[in-house]
Structure formats: C-alpha cells, structure tokens
Structure 1
Amino acid sequence: MTWARQYIDAIVQRDVSELAEIANLAKMPRFLRALAQTAGQMCNYTQLGAQLGLDGKTVSRYIGIFEQLYLLKRIDVWAPNRLSRVVKTPKLQFLDSGLLAALVDLSSGEIAHNRTRFGNLLESFVYAELLKHSSTADGDYRLLYYRDADKFEVDVVIENAAGHILGIDVKASASVNAADLRGLRKLASMAGKQFKLGVLLYDGTETLPLGGGIWAAPLATLWGEQRK
C-alpha cells in the first residue's frame, strides 16, 4: 500500500520530528508497525522494546509521541480498586483503522477469510467510534477495558463520573453463543450494582436480550441504525 508508506514517512519526517528529538527517526516506521501488531492487546514495554533494541522507558516515550499525534491511545484497565488501574498493564488501540490495516498488511480480500485478524481491526474501529461519541456526549466518561488473571476480558468498559459502567464486547460474526458472554458476565459480577448494561456488538441483524442486563446488538447501532 503505497499511500500508507508515504503517510507513515510523512508522520515520521514531519510530525514526529516537530514534537520530539529522536536520535534515529529511521527506526520509527518499524516501531509503529510493531505497535500495530499489539493493537487491542496489553502492551508490555520491556518485551516490545527487547524486540526492537529499545528499553522500556524509550518505548513508553515513543508511544506517548504517537498519542500526541492521535494515532493511538493507551487504555487503562477497569478494576473496582482504582489503585489497581494505575499499576496494571495498559492496552493499545489505534484510532485510524485504515492505517492499522495497512500497518499489519491486512487486505480487503484477507478480511473476508481471516476473521481473527479482522476481529482485532474491528475492535479498534469500534473503540475509535465510541471515543468520538464519548467526547461529544454530555457528562464525563472514561473508556477502559477489563481483563483479569483468569483471562476474562471485555473490549471496552465505559465508566461515568458516578462509577456506573457499561461493558461492550465486539464480535466479527453474525451469530452469538454462550461463550461470547463470559467476559461481560464476569464484569457484571465484579461490578455489582455499578454494572448498568452489557452489549455484545456483532455482525448480525437482530437486537437480542441475553439476560442479566446483557444484550446482543448489530454493529450498525453505533450510528443509531439497524439493518432492514
């Protein structure tokens, strides 16, 4: 994808160099591609740096630069104990799903056949859309994620100023099964009365009640629409 390479080069040569002094700008495109491989996952700075010949502090600094350019965002984990949110590993999400697809070499043809890789891209897209909605909504909202030691996970946890939460999971499939709800149900049990709603966004056409304050809803509901 020629346009993507040109765009990345422009970011590095112009935008990054204006924000910070980087000893070796030539390493930044490779670093950005490495970050793209961790999109939607917890990012261990030390492990990532070891693969690129960088220390953990440098990795964190470089990520901060890309955050200032609104290319990606670090997401804190949701936990009942607020101190735990600070010390646990953040997750990375890219804010431009088109750029992310280019960085991981995901073509439109592969999207149709590799649903796992498409699922990671779709999660980033949904996160970016929710971030837009939260930034223009009335009130103060934080976008977090949930993951515990037993690997129960929820893609996005929206928390308001009162501590009430809404959990959102994303699935690149037109069907829903019980296993898809394990993360949302665990989050509901951990949050107790603070849990107000769980939504599984999927590639289907129906809005379905799944019990316990959890619903399956078409992805189109992100824009207030539903397929006919």
Structure 2
Amino acid sequence: MPSGGGSRLRSAWFDGYVDRIVQRDARDVRRVVDPRRLATVLKLLASNQSGEVVRAKLARDADIPDTTMTAYLDLVETLYLVETIPPLANSLRTRQAGKAKAVVADSASAMHLAGVTSGCATDLVTGGELLGPLLEGLVVSELGKQRTWSETGFSLFHYRETSGIEVDVIIELDDDRVIGVEVKASQTYRPEHFRGLQRLSERLGDRFAGGVVLGTADHGVQFGANLVGLPIASLWEL
C-alpha cells in the first residue's frame, strides 16, 4: 500500500461514520435536525475536548441560535457521542466556578473530528498540548464504561475554584466519599500535579477517600497517605 494509504482509509471510514450519524441516526431521534450544524457542533466539541462548554460561544461558532443549541447538545448526548461532566457542587458550592465539561466519548473519533492526523504524531508522542485533553477524554470515557458494570455505584464530576485550582475528574461514590483524579501528559510525577488533589482533600475532610494522578509513566509513586501517581493503563489493568 502506498505511504499514507492507511491514514486515508481511516479518514474515509470516520467520515462515513460521522456522516451516517448526522444524516440518518440523528433523525431517528429528532426529526428536525440540520446535519451540517450537528457535524459542526461535534467538531467544535472535539476541538475543545475535555473543555468547559460555553453555550453562547459554541452557538456563535456553530452559527446556531442560542435557543437551539441546548437541543443539539442534548442530541449528541442521546446518541452517546458526547458525555458531559458537571461541576461538583453540594457543600463546595460557595467557592466553585465553572460549567460542565464535554468529552467526545470515542477517542479516535475525537481525534478525527478535531483534525488530529498523522502529521500531529510528534506532538502527541512528546506530550504536546494536544495530548492532555485527549488523555483526559480517554480517562472519562473509560470511567463511564466502568460505571455500567461496577459493583460500586459512582457519579462523575469535575472541580474548579475561582482561584484556578482544579481537579480534572471527581468520582463521587454512592456513600458520598470522593476520589479525585488528575490526568497529566507527563512521564514524571511532580508536586504541582497533586496541588488540586491536596486542596480537595482539605475542603472535603473525611469525604476525601483518596486522589490519583494518572500519567504516561510506566511506574507509580506514593505521594502521601492518600495520594498516588499511577500509569493511565492502571485504569483497566488493575
């Protein structure tokens, strides 16, 4: 096969997959839908993978009326294409900031929709700015799958304070305990990677069951009584 043939085939497959969804599957759920606008919404969400959803900006960039954007966002969730992660509230409400995050559930689709091609491989391998959001999306997607069969019920949130301190993923167990997860595109574990988890531990007290930094290293570290660093692969290997 000529050089680049595999990439072209993959691209054609994903183009066909997305086209089938926006042209046919979406209409099975909602009869009145603009396929072009729906495809644009998906691309914009993928380009901001794991980012907070600012509806007004998304509507403007997609050329969709604000009043219609909610319906499009509901549609992509109903089709299981996108998962939204709300901010953790409850007793932390007073200092919290932020909106729901959106994650295109399938990482390969997210890369294709965002225009991440083989030409971006160096950036991904070296931990460039593309890798972090994609890894966070992968973690959220994996946790979402595990939620369907886990014997322990849990919900997913994220956490951000007005000061800028944040934790990528919050796992709130049915007994109200919380596990914090930070995702880092790094092969080393640094003290600053645990800063948000330490802050969350201070805020939650006994509710904080533990925190983990998931990175690209092939080993783990202990960073305190209830804080650890682990390879991302531990999500499905442990």
> Does TM, scored on the shorter chain, surpass 0.5?
yes
> Is residue 154 from structure 1 mapped to residue 167 from structure 2 by the alignment?
yes
CA RMSD of aligned residues (A): 2.1
The one-letter code matched in structure 2 to 1:145 is H
The one-letter code matched in structure 1 to 2:78 is Q
Number of the residue aligned with 2:29: 19
Unaligned runs of 5+ in 1: none
The one-letter code matched in structure 2 to 1:159 is E
Indicate which of 104, 109, 112 corresponds to 1:94. Answer: 104
Structure 1 runs of 4+ with >3 Å offset: none
- Once residues 21 and 218 of structure 2 are traced to their aligned partners in structure 1, the CA distance between those partners, rounded to angstroms, is 39
* Cα shift at 1:52: 2.1
Number of the residue aligned with 1:116: 129
Percent of paired sites with the same residue? 28
* Cα shift at 1:212: 4.5
* TM-score, normalization by structure 2: 0.87
Indicate which of 38, 45, 50 corresponds to 1:40. Answer: 50
Number of the residue aligned with 1:136: 149
Number of the residue aligned with 1:2: 12
The one-letter code matched in structure 1 to 2:41 is F
Alpha carbons of structure 1 residues 59 and 82: separation in structure 2 relative to 1, 3 Å: farther
On the 8 A contact 1:111/1:117 being kept in 2, the answer is no
On the 8 A contact 2:165/2:196 being kept in 1, the answer is yes
The one-letter code matched in structure 2 to 1:186 is R
* Cα shift at 1:109: 4.6
Matched ranges for 1:61-76 at <5 A = 61-76=71-86
Alpha carbons of structure 1 residues 73 and 23: separation in structure 2 relative to 1, 3 Å: closer
How many residues were matched structurally?
225
* Cα shift at 1:58: 1.5
Unaligned runs of 5+ in 2: 1-10
The one-letter code matched in structure 2 to 1:107 is T
Alpha carbons of structure 1 residues 185 and 12: separation in structure 2 relative to 1, 3 Å: same
- Once residues 183 and 39 of structure 2 are traced to their aligned partners in structure 1, the CA distance between those partners, rounded to angstroms, is 29
The one-letter code matched in structure 1 to 2:218 is T
On the 8 A contact 1:73/1:92 being kept in 2, the answer is yes
Alpha carbons of structure 1 residues 57 and 38: separation in structure 2 relative to 1, 3 Å: farther
The one-letter code matched in structure 1 to 2:69 is V
